[in-house]
Amino acid sequence: MKPSSFSRACIFLALFALASCAPLSRPAPPSHQPMQSPPLMADAQPVTPKGYIPENINTLKVALLLPLSGDSAAIGNSMLDAASLALYDSYLAAEPASIKTQIILIPKDTGNTPAEAITAAQEAIDQGAKLIIGPMFSQSVSVVAPIARKAKVSMITFSNNRAVAGDGVFVFGFVPELQVKRVAEYAFLQNYPRVAILAPNDAYGLKVKDTLKDIYTQKGGLVSPVGLYAPSPANIEAAVARLAAAYSNTPEDRRYQAIFLADGGFQLKTIIEAMNRNNMDLKKIKLLGTGLWDSEDIAKMPQMEGAWFSSSPPDPYKIFERRFVSSFGYKPARLSSLAYDAVGLAAAIAMPLAQTPDGLTREQLTNPTGYISPANGLFRFSADGIAERRLAIMQVTGGEFRVVEPAEKSFPPKF
């Protein structure tokens, strides 16, 4: 058994064998040995330790739909490890007397195709699941949603596509429109009223472009020029060359002051290299982006120095990452934090409830004050099923990320 699977098994053993552990401010990593009950003090009443799940309580079965095989298996298994860790942590942090419902996870493999996701969802519902967490991809969400709605089961999906949300389907991914809005509003207030954009000519890139233009138009700013490209080095080079020519051929007082780059990873590196070849002076032009930049590799790119992007607050994620590594011995995929938070949310709502015959209701999930998720900070689900998050503005500084404007700590009282 691989190390992560062994650790995962230990977590479930600790939970379902009703094992105990000494209480800590943050729970210690799951042990690879069965945990021992603490000795009783002489002439004292037994003390129920944290982590103990009372017997004969209500149960809530939660389906976890993830790609555990196929092209995205590495991410899916990392998310499964994070989900099992969240369940362990949720019980370990709770007083046993407050636990009225036990969460039972039902992991199901969605494989590579929407058809496999349909099979996985139906199997989980047939086995009694009253809440679905997942799937990861919007194509799978679209085909699973009718099955969940027919069974009157809410879904907390890992998709970031607003189009699949609503009528019991909740989008828990990092929605690009909200990330763009956050950094665009910050840049405008910092006196960057003229912004160019480079974006892939796909659904994600078009969403970023449209959102940026809407926000800047509302504020009296300007988004120009707009460069769209197909994902190839030649197309990126041509788009960057056009952007460089537009900058050089515009009067100095009308030139764009920032460029929004709607890409990350290898494509972002290709864009930066093309900018260097086209003699674009990035010391004079501010680079803007989204959480796609939340990567150590991007932080270490010298040309990114001073760039701004929006992301969830970094400190909670760092704590989650350290805890994950100490438990499983490898670094989690970034999306694993969503699995940790989603299971934590289900546990936080369900554990105090004596009965959950209908799973988690929309009213419970759409609490307007929101929830503080352990790995990604404050969020709330809007009435239309979108996870609205409080995001921080990050700056690349000296090969690292630094918070230049913290995330807000509350939501207004009404949507």
Answer yes or no: is pLDDT of 392 > 60.
yes
Mean pLDDT of the chain: 89
Give residue 48's pLDDT. 59
Residue 21, both tokens: 């552990």
Do 254 and 398 share a structural domain? Answer: yes
Residue 277 lies in a domain: yes
Residue 128 lies in a domain: yes
Question: Residues 63-72: what's their mean pLDDT?
Answer: 97
In sequence order, which residues have a C-beta less than 8 Å from that of residue 276 and are 6 or more positions away? 303
Residue 13 lies in a domain: no
- 327-to-180, 310, 315, 370 alpha-carbon distances in Å: 34, 29, 19, 29
Answer yes or no: is pLDDT of 156 > 50.
yes
Do 268 and 180 share a structural domain? Answer: yes
- Name the packing angle between helices 73-92 and 3-16 (round to 10°): 30
32: confidence class by pLDDT, cuts 50, 70, 90: very low
Residue 37 lies in a domain: no
Do 321 and 306 share a structural domain? Answer: no
Question: Residues 197-211: what's their mean pLDDT?
Answer: 96
Residue 410 lies in a domain: no
User: What percentage of the chain reaches a pLDDT higher than 90?
Assistant: 82
Strand order through the sheet with 387-389? 371-373, 377-381, 387-389
37: confidence class by pLDDT, cuts 50, 70, 90: very low
Give residue 30's pLDDT. 41
Answer yes or no: is pLDDT of 82 > 60.
yes
DSSP result, 129-176: -SEEE--SSHHHHHHHHHHHHHTT-EEEE----GGG-BTTEEE-S--H
Residue 86, both tokens: 């969240």
Do 197 and 301 share a structural domain? Answer: yes
Give residue 201's pLDDT. 96
C-alpha angle 220/202/312, rounded to 5°?
65
Q: Which residue has the tokens 């058809």?
A: 115
Give residue 249's pLDDT. 95
Task: Specify the 3-state DSSP secondary structure of 392.
Answer: strand
Candidate from 6-10, 99-103, 396-400 with smallest mean pLDDT: 6-10
Residue 256 lies in a domain: yes
Give residue 36's pLDDT. 37
Residue 62 lies in a domain: yes
Q: Which helix (H) or strand (E) holds 361?
A: none
Do 281 and 401 share a structural domain? Answer: yes
Q: How many domains does the chain have?
A: 2
Q: Are 49 and 33 in contact (CB under 8 A)?
A: no
Residue 164, both tokens: 């699949």
Do 279 and 200 share a structural domain? Answer: yes
Do 334 and 188 share a structural domain? Answer: no
Could you give phi then psi for residue 119, rounded to 5 degrees? Answer: -60, -45
Answer yes or no: is pLDDT of 22 > 70.
no
CA distance 261 to 40: 61
Question: Residues 389-403: what's their mean pLDDT?
Answer: 97
Q: What is the CATH number of the domain that holds 292?
A: 3.40.50.2300
Do 168 and 264 share a structural domain? Answer: no
CA atoms within 13 A on the CB side of 267: 18
Query: Comparing C-alpha atoms, which of 218, 301, 222 is closest to residue 309?
Result: 301
Q: Are 178 and 212 in contact (CB under 8 A)?
A: no
Do 169 and 180 share a structural domain? Answer: no
Answer yes or no: is pLDDT of 17 > 80.
no
Any alpha helices (H) in 278-406, and if so which ranges? 296-299, 314-328, 336-350, 362-365
Give residue 205's pLDDT. 96
Tell me the per-residue pLDDT of 283-298, one tens digit each, with 9 for 90 and over: 999 999 999 999 889 9
Which amino acid, one-letter code, is at 40?
Answer: L
Residue 143 lies in a domain: yes
Do 208 and 93 share a structural domain? Answer: no
If one compares 230 and 38, the residue with the highest pLDDT of the two is 230
Answer yes or no: is pLDDT of 28 > 90.
no
Give residue 35's pLDDT. 33
Give residue 1's pLDDT. 41
Question: Residues 188-214: what's their mean pLDDT?
Answer: 97
| Domain interval for residue 193 | 176-311+393-405
Give residue 47's pLDDT. 53
Do 399 and 379 share a structural domain? Answer: no
Give residue 2's pLDDT. 44
Do 207 and 108 share a structural domain? Answer: no
